[in-house]
């Protein structure tokens, strides 16, 4: 049987066993022998998603060529800066790292991140002694505006690690293969400067379920993402990948396999104590009258996200600000300003929970949404 006939036979077998990693590996090897390198690499990455055998995974890795380096050495995609700092002109870095104290509430989530992420970065000697690797992946999900991005930045600040907020537009490209190359370049940048934290917001845009994009070019980006998180051609030690999503049901299930996003954290709206703290943070540099009872506002804002609370303060500011702009006397923010703003607002999280409840109730495979169900009780 010639190679083309063998390939056709393997592909027919794959239609009845699409998750068979060994079939994908054989297809990749045959494609490589036929000189169809890019197709062989795609099949090899698909094989890695399903293979558990180390020897077979090594064969698959051998078929995947490392991403080409940018001219001048290293990636020209994005730069990493220490602890969430900004890079000014030249080589000067300014330290403005966010800390957990700057993020109101979410104490249980902070503690979980501290024990699972921060301590390993701060005590690598202890983890080496027990043979536990430092790094991995953390996926945060929940309604929008509840602090997922701030938690990622604060984690980098607490770890004093290099931090890179990866935006979707820095990856997606209209030309074939460019998105995959850019994604590989980002990971190479992180591996070159450790300890480092990569943060992918709206991760479903590059890690969408391949069942939903079966005939889309986006499938190759997902495969590349999986390969990079596995460290196919490099070592991901001391590289932590954090991601956030408002739609965890749209993220490919293979991304949640151990070794990838093996820690999935539900980030809920702030509770009353957290709302009190968040409101204080947003009011600390504003002229606020003594008649404003922050505790009262915290009680009246159940289900409000952190972003909703900021919007509440911003709306309350509009009254005295507009009056001053029209030539009136400047005055402090008063209780009536906040109560008037509250009348015009509803929690933005309720729509998200209406959708999420259906998934949590009927699609809780492997207990993914246990924390969400507990919250909804």
Question: What's the pLDDT score for residue 342?
Answer: 94
Q: Are 115 and 140 in contact (CB under 8 A)?
A: no
Q: Are residues 85 and 142 in the same domain?
A: yes
Find the angle CA(264)-CA(305)-CA(356) to the nearest 5 degrees: 50
Encoding tokens for residue 59? 């064969």
Question: What's the pLDDT score for residue 1?
Answer: 58
Number of domain units in the chain: 3
Q: Are residues 211 and 235 in the same domain?
A: yes
Q: Among residues 219, 241, 266, which one ends one of the domains?
A: 266
In a domain, 249, yes or no: yes
Q: Are residues 177 and 195 in the same domain?
A: yes
Output the pTM of the full model.
0.68
Q: Are residues 57 and 181 in the same domain?
A: no
Measuring CA to CA, how many Å separate 136 from each of 117, 124, 157?
Answer: 9, 14, 18
Q: Are residues 40 and 135 in the same domain?
A: no
Question: What's the pLDDT score for residue 279?
Answer: 92
Q: Are residues 234 and 301 in the same domain?
A: no
In a domain, 371, yes or no: no
Q: C-alpha 339: how far from its chain's center?
A: 36
**What beta strand segments (E) does 261-302 contain?**
263-266
Q: What is the distance between the alpha carbons of residues 63 and 46, in angstroms, rounded to a whole number?
A: 12
In a domain, 356, yes or no: no
Q: What is the DSSP string of 211-258?
A: TTTTTSTHHHHHHHHHHHHHTSSS--TTEEEEEEES-GGGB-GGGGST
Q: What is the distance between the alpha carbons of residues 357 and 359, in angstroms, rounded to a whole number?
A: 6
Question: What's the pLDDT score for residue 316?
Answer: 93
Q: Among residues 266, 287, 320, which one ends one of the domains?
A: 266
Q: Are residues 221 and 283 in the same domain?
A: no
Q: What is the distance between the alpha carbons of residues 233 and 179, in angstroms, rounded to a whole number?
A: 18
Q: What is the distance between the alpha carbons of residues 158 and 307, in angstroms, rounded to a whole number?
A: 23
Domain around 89 = 81-266
Q: Are residues 235 and 300 in the same domain?
A: no
Side-chain half-sphere of 327: how many Cα atoms within 13 Å?
0
**What CATH number does residue 330 fall under?**
1.10.8.60
Q: Are 64 and 86 in contact (CB under 8 A)?
A: no
Q: What is the distance between the alpha carbons of residues 298 and 272, in angstroms, rounded to a whole number?
A: 6
In a domain, 199, yes or no: yes
DSSP 200: E
Q: Are residues 234 and 283 in the same domain?
A: no
In a domain, 377, yes or no: no
Q: What are the two backbone dihedrals, phi and then psi, of residue 298, each rounded to the nearest 5 degrees?
A: -65, -40
In a domain, 72, yes or no: no
Q: Are residues 166 and 259 in the same domain?
A: yes
Q: Among residues 266, 289, 321, which one ends one of the domains?
A: 266
In a domain, 354, yes or no: no
Q: Are 98 and 161 in contact (CB under 8 A)?
A: no
Q: Are residues 234 and 289 in the same domain?
A: no
Q: Are 227 and 193 in contact (CB under 8 A)?
A: no
Q: What is the distance between the alpha carbons of residues 159 and 114, in angstroms, rounded to a whole number?
A: 9
pLDDT tens by residue, the chain, 377 residues:
578 888 888 888 877 777 788 888 888 888 888 888 888 888 887 777 777 676 777 788 788 775 444 343 443 344 444 454 444 332 222 233 678 877 777 888 888 888 777 777 777 777 778 776 666 688 999 999 888 888 888 888 887 778 888 888 778 777 777 888 888 888 888 888 777 888 898 888 888 777 666 556 667 788 888 888 876 556 777 788 889 999 888 888 888 777 778 788 899 998 898 899 889 988 988 899 989 999 999 999 999 998 999 999 999 999 888 888 888 788 899 999 999 999 999 999 999 999 999 988 888 877 888 889 988 88
Contacts of 146 (CB under 8 A, 6+ apart): 267, 268, 269, 270, 305, 306, 307, 349
**What CATH number does residue 213 fall under?**
3.40.50.300
Q: Are residues 203 and 85 in the same domain?
A: yes
In which region does residue 127 sit, left (phi positive, over 0), alpha (psi from -120 to 50) or beta (all else)? alpha
In a domain, 369, yes or no: no
């Amino acid at each position: 049987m010639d190679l083309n006939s063998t390939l056709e036979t393997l592909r027919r077998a794959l239609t009845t066993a699409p998750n068979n990693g060994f079939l994908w590996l054989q297809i990749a090897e045959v494609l490589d022998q036929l000189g169809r390198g890019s197709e062989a690499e795609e099949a090899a990455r698909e094989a890695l998603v399903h293979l558990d055998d180390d020897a077979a995974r090594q064969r698959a890795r051998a078929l995947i060529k490392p991403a080409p380096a940018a001219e001048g050495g290293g990636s020209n995609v994005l730069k990493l800066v220490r602890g969430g700092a900004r890079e000014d002109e030249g080589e000067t870095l300014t330290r403005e790292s966010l800390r957990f104290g700057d993020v109101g509430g979410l104490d249980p989530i902070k503690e979980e991140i501290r024990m699972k992420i921060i301590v390993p970065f701060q005590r690598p000697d202890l983890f080496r002694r027990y043979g536990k690797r430092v790094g991995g992946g953390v996926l945060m999900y929940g309604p929008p505006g509840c602090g997922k991005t701030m938690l990622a930045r604060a984690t980098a600040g607490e770890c004093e690690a290099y931090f890179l907020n990866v935006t979707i537009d820095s990856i997606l490209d209209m030309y074939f293969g460019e998105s995959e190359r850019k994604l590989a370049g980002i990971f190479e940048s992180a591996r070159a400067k450790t300890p480092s934290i990569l943060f992918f917001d709206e991760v479903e845009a590059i890690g969408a379920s391949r069942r939903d994009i079966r005939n889309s070019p986006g499938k190759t980006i997902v495969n590349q993402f999986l390969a990079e998180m596995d460290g196919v051609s490099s070592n991901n030690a001391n590289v932590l990948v954090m991601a956030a999503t408002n739609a965890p049901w749209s993220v490919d299930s293979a991304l949640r396999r151990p070794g990838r996003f093996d820690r999935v954290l539900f980030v809920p709206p702030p509770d009353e104590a957290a709302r009190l703290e968040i409101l204080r943070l947003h009011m600390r540099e504003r002229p606020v009258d003594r008649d404003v009872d922050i505790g009262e506002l915290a009680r009246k804002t159940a289900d409000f996200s952190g972003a909703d609370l900021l919007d509440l303060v911003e709306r309350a500011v509009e009254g005295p600000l507009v009056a001053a702009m029209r030539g009136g006397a400047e005055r402090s923010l008063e209780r009536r300003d906040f109560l008037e703003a509250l009348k015009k607002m509803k929690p933005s999280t309720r729509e998200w929970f209406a959708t999420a409840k259906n998934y949590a109730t009927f699609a809780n495979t492997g207990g993914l949404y246990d924390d969400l169900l507990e919250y909804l009780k």
